Chain A
Amino acid sequence: MHLVIIGNGITGVTCALTVRRLQPAARITLVSAESAHHFSRPALMYVYLGHLRYQDIKPYEDWFWQENRLELVQAAATGLDAARQTVQLSTGAVLAYDKLLLATGSVGRRGTWPGHDLAGVQTFVTLPDLEQMTRDTHGIRQAVVVGGGLIGVELAEMLAAKGVAVTMLVRDDRYWGSVLPPEEAALIQRQLDDHHITVRYRTELQALLPDAHGRVRAVQTTAGEELPAQWVGLAVGVVPNLALARAGGLETDQGILVDELLQTSQPHVYAAGDCAQQRAPGPGEVAVEQLWYTGRHQGETVGHTLAGQPRPYRRGLWFNSAKFFDLEYQTYGRVPARPDAREHSFCWQHPNGRHLLRLNFRRDSLAVTGLNVLGLRHRHDTWHQWLQAGTPAPQVLANLGAANFDPEFFRQHEADIVRQFNAQFPEHAVPRPRRRGLFRV
């Protein structure tokens, strides 16, 4: 079997590794335009910050590919003929496949604002984006970042570390308002304040203003304010990269439409990761999910199918993590930004404003439904079990130490958390929680 994979991101690579494991004899070709080798997209920021070099964000050393007989082709796939089962490459070559996986990822949303194509205005998604940012941010003093999501805050951190004064434009009335409840957003606001980031909430971009050389000079906000900026980052989301799918006549909507086996509208052609859209997502799930973890999971799932062990994609329990400047964030299960009438939401905060734990649980069965932690580390496997089993909140709190994943000697807050829980829910009061010791995992 010849498996051709377009895209060497986490999705394509995980699929390739899965198929290699299940079918040692398969021929596997990875085609990608952006880079010769797989790299970690979430780590791009660390290269700009100077924490790492480009070679450090490659998850595998270069010998890995050859030793595992994964053929790498650096080229853009420009055409797809599903009837003949071939892909055309920008090099002029034509690749025949038995199975094809599109793992083409996303492209940054640029918007249609006046001046969005000025020099010094860009998105931040790809290696060329990083390259452009490294060139265009030398010697600048002020920058504006449009968008209050994860990439927006990364851009702010990157620029601030270089001594650039950053202003963020955020449409909501708080940071990441579509995802985070107000208390969480307030803690992140503290980080933004500590790092001297100015944020304009309920404010959007109106226009980008050029200087005499066609470079951005300032932005105009919907509040009528003009903010000087020699560089502007557009972090208003990413959209699936559909160019190849469209060229091949695949059915697309927002993304490439796939069934639960991650198969597209054409036989032998599959799609997964950022670029795919589920035709029938499960209840409460979204059809397009642009996450590293989702790409990895879908890549592995489709790898089984491609290796002849069909496996339907099941979203599974939600989890995610991020870091906002110095504040780590982990979440397990679902914690909606706005309260759900069927759930209690218990929120503990340390007075120093650097630690928070939010636990959501059903009013009727008391089963836990989700956890947010900021400035605390929690154990994924333990939460997976608790959420899967619908463990009642009091039982979870009594054993909270078992989920504590903070390093040794860190202050343990479980007793304080339980005290506050008992005060708030005396009818579900919990005995003293178990502590973690030096001799116990």
Chain B
Amino acid sequence: MSVLASVPLTAEPPVPEVAPTEKLLLAVVGLGLLLLLPVAFDADAERARWCFFGALGLLSAGTLGWSWWKYGRGPAGVHHHNLWLRASTARGAVAWLTGIVLTGFYVILYWFSADNGQGNFGPLNQLVHALDPASQLLRHRPSDQWFLYGTFYTLAILVMGARALWKYRHSPYQRLRTVSVMFFQLGFAFLLPGLLLAFQRPEFYFSYFWPLKYDYLFPGTVSYLLRDGGPALGVFLVFWTAVISFVGVPVLTYFFGKRWYCSWVCGCGGLAETAGDPYRHLSDKSRAAWRWEVRLIYPILGFIVLLTALLWLGAAGMLPGWFTTPQQSGLPLVGGLSPVDGLSKVYGFAIGAMFSGVIGVGFYPLMGTRVWCRFGCPMAAYLGLLQKHFSRFRITTNGAQCISCGNCSNVCEMGIDVQQYAQRGEPIIRASCVGCGMCSTACPRGVLNLENGPREGRYQGSQLISADSLRMLS
């Protein structure tokens, strides 16, 4: 006991060897990834197409096989073994490489793969055209870079969703929730928008709403939907957006918390919960991170509300002319645009593309999965305010059973230090909680439960433990 350990741990626990079967399955995944390269560079379109489907097949089969091998065979339960010990999930070299590849893909997708007017999509050209038959089938038109992205995205949610189903199969809550995000991605965010195009209607994502899909309530989009959607459908689409944004969201959030959207329906959340599951623990739980969250997310919500209001006022001719007249400011990005359109462009670039795509997904392996949802998403900010102040949702702490082990905070992708509440016996009522339920699933003492109850006494802690009243966030 006289040992003075100022650096408490200097050795790493052993990591079991990767079994040959696992190596083989991972090799199949790797092969699938490699096969995407010749697709990008092969001049022969037919061969590229076959390579492409071969690659997708190998990727999917390899990932499914590996998930089953790793999680599907043994006893069901929370098995986060070696999560913080493997390079791939503990910000090691593999994670950095994955992050760089993902980020690179987003940069190319957003800024270097637009159609050049002759059906050439830059570096992604072959990949895009490999999907032409599928696109023709679903949408009755050739593929483009967004169809490629949507296909990858949906496939990632489906395949990694299967992994999540195996991994968390002991929890009906996690099973249902995973099936739900898979369903909404495939049906509402992939097939339905495609079908609308096939019927010569505007492409419309039924599972995204303003202010996340910020332009759905911009005057430009509304008039386009009304025009191209035709009298019945167009009105319905606009109605759908407005009703969900202003009525559906508050009502559902009142009853269930923001989780009904963020971890059951939303595609961004869907990707985080499935493809991102191996990285959920990487979110920063520090108080400093919480401060950044508050500093960023509410101003972004304010920005988009203001912008939407300005656009409508402009459209109604209620703004001074300067706002809506193109200006030769000489600034990059917004040169030649009116101030209001410029703001809209800035938002689209900085928040819509940079934050939600490049940082939001590209940095999964380094910063965790919900960077966008936590620091950037205006929808999350809106839902969060409702959840905190006008909702029956809370996470209840079970009496005095907490042993302060930290498993709940670790798995919280939103970076909430759940344990701070649990060890004080207090319910967790946080604007950012997306209700993924993972803290409850992972707690080894059965301390946490997501519940919808009366609003009276919602903040009431357990009587069986006296909360130390010391501050967390000043």
Q: Which residues of A contact B (CB under 8 A)?
A: 10, 14, 17-18, 20-21, 33-36, 39-40, 42-43, 46-54, 56-59, 61, 63-64, 67-68, 74-76, 90, 107, 126-128, 130-131, 133-135, 137-139, 161-163, 191, 194-195, 241, 243, 292-293, 296, 300, 319, 321-323, 325-326, 328, 330, 377-381, 384, 405-411, 438-441
Q: In the complex, what residues of A have CB within 8 A of residue B80's CB?
A: 49-51
Pick the contact of B440 from A53, A407, A440 — CB < 8 Å? A407
Contact across chains for B449 and A51 when beta carbons are under 8 A apart = no
Whole-angstrom CA separation of A254 from B79 in the bound complex:
39
* Residue B171 lies at the interface, judged by CB distance under 8 Å to chain A: yes
Considering only CB atoms, which chain B residue lies closest to A439 in the complex?
B452
Query: Contacts A50-B13, A51-B83, A75-B4 hold; do A377 and B398 have CB atoms under 8 A apart?
Result: yes
**Nearest chain A CB to B340 CB, angstrom units:** 43
Q: In the complex, what residues of A have CB within 8 A of residue B406's CB?
A: 40, 43, 46, 52, 56-59
**Nearest chain B CB to A256 CB, angstrom units:** 15
Contact across chains for A384 and B399 when beta carbons are under 8 A apart = yes
* Residue B325 lies at the interface, judged by CB distance under 8 Å to chain A: no
* Residue B57 lies at the interface, judged by CB distance under 8 Å to chain A: no
Query: Contacts A49-B82, A407-B440, A441-B396 hold; do A57 and B8 have CB atoms under 8 A apart?
Result: no
Contact across chains for A319 and B404 when beta carbons are under 8 A apart = no
Considering only CB atoms, which chain A residue lies closest to B446 in the complex?
A377
Contact across chains for A408 and B409 when beta carbons are under 8 A apart = no
Contact across chains for A61 and B286 when beta carbons are under 8 A apart = yes
Whole-angstrom CA separation of A137 from B80 in the bound complex:
19
**Nearest chain A CB to B182 CB, angstrom units:** 16
Whole-angstrom CA separation of A330 from B466 in the bound complex:
21
Pick the contact of A195 from B75, B84, B171, B401 — CB < 8 Å? B75
Contact across chains for A137 and B404 when beta carbons are under 8 A apart = no
Q: In the complex, what residues of B have CB within 8 A of residue A36's CB?
A: 6, 8
Q: In the complex, what residues of B have CB within 8 A of residue A14's CB?
A: 468
**Nearest chain A CB to B442 CB, angstrom units:** 8
* Residue B407 lies at the interface, judged by CB distance under 8 Å to chain A: yes
* Residue B445 lies at the interface, judged by CB distance under 8 Å to chain A: yes
| B residues 420-474 in Cβ contact with A at 8 Å | 423, 437, 440-441, 444-446, 449-454, 462-466, 468-471
Q: In the complex, what residues of B have CB within 8 A of residue A42's CB?
A: 403-405
Query: Contacts A40-B406, A52-B410, A61-B287 hold; do A33 and B449 have CB atoms under 8 A apart?
Result: no
Whole-angstrom CA separation of A34 from B444 in the bound complex:
25
4 tightest CB-CB pairs across the interface, nearest first? Answer: A380-B399, A326-B77, A441-B453, A43-B405
| Residue from B255, B256, B392, B452 having most chain A Cβ neighbours under 10 A | B452
Q: In the complex, what residues of A have CB within 8 A of residue B14's CB?
A: 134, 137-139, 162
Contact across chains for A330 and B401 when beta carbons are under 8 A apart = yes
* Residue B243 lies at the interface, judged by CB distance under 8 Å to chain A: no
| Residue from A127, A161, A380 having most chain B Cβ neighbours under 10 A | A380
* Residue B328 lies at the interface, judged by CB distance under 8 Å to chain A: no
* Residue B176 lies at the interface, judged by CB distance under 8 Å to chain A: yes
Contact across chains for A326 and B75 when beta carbons are under 8 A apart = yes
Considering only CB atoms, which chain B residue lies closest to A42 in the complex?
B403
Query: Contacts A20-B470, A162-B15 hold; do A59 and B419 have CB atoms under 8 A apart?
Result: yes
Query: Contacts A17-B470, A381-B463 hold; do A59 and B286 have CB atoms under 8 A apart?
Result: no
Q: In the complex, what residues of B have CB within 8 A of residue A293's CB?
A: 400-401
Pick the contact of A323 from B9, B171, B444 — CB < 8 Å? B444
What are 8 pairs between A and B in contact, CB < 8 Å?
Answer: A17-B468, A40-B404, A48-B13, A51-B81, A292-B403, A296-B400, A319-B401, A328-B446
Contact across chains for B453 and A440 when beta carbons are under 8 A apart = yes
Contact across chains for B9 and A127 when beta carbons are under 8 A apart = yes
* Residue B3 lies at the interface, judged by CB distance under 8 Å to chain A: yes
Contact across chains for B400 and A409 when beta carbons are under 8 A apart = no
Q: In the complex, what residues of B have CB within 8 A of residue A90's CB?
A: 2, 4
* Residue B85 lies at the interface, judged by CB distance under 8 Å to chain A: yes
Whole-angstrom CA separation of A59 from B403 in the bound complex:
10
Q: In the complex, what residues of B have CB within 8 A of residue A74's CB?
A: 4, 6
Pick the contact of B446 from A21, A162, A321 — CB < 8 Å? A321
Pick the contact of A377 from B255, B449, B463 — CB < 8 Å? B449
**Nearest chain B CB to A59 CB, angstrom units:** 4
| Residue from B10, B13, B396, B452 having most chain A Cβ neighbours under 10 A | B13
Contact across chains for A328 and B445 when beta carbons are under 8 A apart = yes
Q: In the complex, what residues of B have CB within 8 A of residue A34's CB?
A: 1, 3, 5, 8
* Residue B76 lies at the interface, judged by CB distance under 8 Å to chain A: yes
Whole-angstrom CA separation of A10 from B405 in the bound complex:
12
Whole-angstrom CA separation of A195 from B470 in the bound complex:
42
Whole-angstrom CA separation of A321 from B17 in the bound complex:
33
* Residue B11 lies at the interface, judged by CB distance under 8 Å to chain A: yes
* Residue B173 lies at the interface, judged by CB distance under 8 Å to chain A: yes
Contact across chains for B403 and A319 when beta carbons are under 8 A apart = no
**Nearest chain A CB to B181 CB, angstrom units:** 15
Pick the contact of B409 from A56, A135, A296 — CB < 8 Å? A56
Contact across chains for B81 and A46 when beta carbons are under 8 A apart = no
